[in-house]
Amino acid sequence: MSEIIIYEDPKGKTGIEVRFEGDSLWLSQDQMTRIFERERSVITKHIKNIFRDAELDEKSNVQIMHVAISDKPVKYYGLDVVLAVGYRVNSKRGIQFRKWASRVLREHLLQGFTLNKTRLAELGINEAQQALDLMTRTLHANVLVTDMGKEVLALITGYAKTWRLLLQYDEQAIPLPPGCKPAQGVLSSDKAKMAIDRLKADLISRNEATPLFGNASGQALDGILGSIEQTMFSEPLYRSREEKAAHLLYFVIKDHPFSDGNKRIGSFLFLLYMEQEGMTSRMNETALTALALLIAESAPANKDLLIRLIMNLLTTG
């Protein structure tokens, strides 16, 4: 079954329908001439050289498809061929397409979906929510994600409206949520370390951890606990308990202050701080584990996005 996605250059001047079939995308030579801005003879020469040099197998990378308008058979070439041609084409358009293919198409092929940002903007928030819900139901129904992956999807879909949906998610503009409250106390280093020692002993007794679990790397934990209490111009840098809790979870997971067990310890200290501050949470154990995995897999550039996500999950307003 074929699927179509639109490729546009960064200026939005060129829209080309890219065909998906099986586990690859397919372009004709005519489409490659438009994308790479080269004569067809140049594209043909590159393709012939790719197959002649046995860089790629022609049989598995070429399909004959019928064009709907003329119903004439046309040769289409798979993603590997398109990228190989792109690397031989010395043009800005070639570079632009290779970046798009590498970052967007691979994700599309792996995840099985692509949501067009322009289309979402046109649809508006309600239809964007419907599109996300449909994507989630489809993935669930076809068992395309693991149980933990489903929990991550549940986090995203369950709080999409709170985050102002996908548009702000894509723009990394999740707002700070209302309802945050000032912190009442400080999670001390001694209290945290004693709690970690108890957690370690309990896990080892149940054969769920090794002696490496919770071994501190220097004074890294002290640095994290100090960082969430830091001030600027005599004012707290992180003003609310929700912001401090979010940074505590994020820093422990991402900074790896322990030789083993950073995600579990980060989640444990997160809950310990919440208990100390009298905070409640709508997250169950599986949801918290999914959130920890989401943080661990996130890029450093997404830090502010993740902090706002955690804070939105903590507020009950």
Tens of pLDDT along 158-181? 555 444 433 444 444 445 567 788
Q: What is the mean pLDDT of the chain?
A: 76
Higher per-residue confidence, 133 vs 234: 234
Query: Per-residue pLDDT averaged across 236-248, rounded?
Result: 91
97 CB-near residues (< 8 Å, 6+ apart): 7, 35, 36, 86
19 CB-near residues (< 8 Å, 6+ apart): 2, 3, 4, 25, 26, 27, 65, 76
Residue 190 vs residues 143, 195, 214, 218: alpha-carbon distances, Å: 45, 9, 14, 15
Distance CA 182, CA 202 (A): 33
Distance CA 164, CA 174 (A): 7
**CATH 1.20.120.1870 given to domain 189-314:** yes
Tokens coding 252: 């422990």
Question: Which pLDDT belongs to residue 34?
Answer: 85
How does pLDDT run across 283-307, given as a tens digit for each residue? 777 778 878 887 887 778 778 878 8
Question: Which pLDDT belongs to residue 111?
Answer: 54
pLDDT at 73 over 50: yes
pLDDT at 280 over 70: yes
pLDDT at 85 over 60: yes
Domain positions in the chain are 3-111, 117-161, 189-314
pLDDT at 123 over 70: no
Higher per-residue confidence, 314 vs 46: 46
Which pLDDT band holds residue 251 (cuts at 50, 70, 90)? very high
Higher per-residue confidence, 283 vs 48: 48
Higher per-residue confidence, 21 vs 209: 209
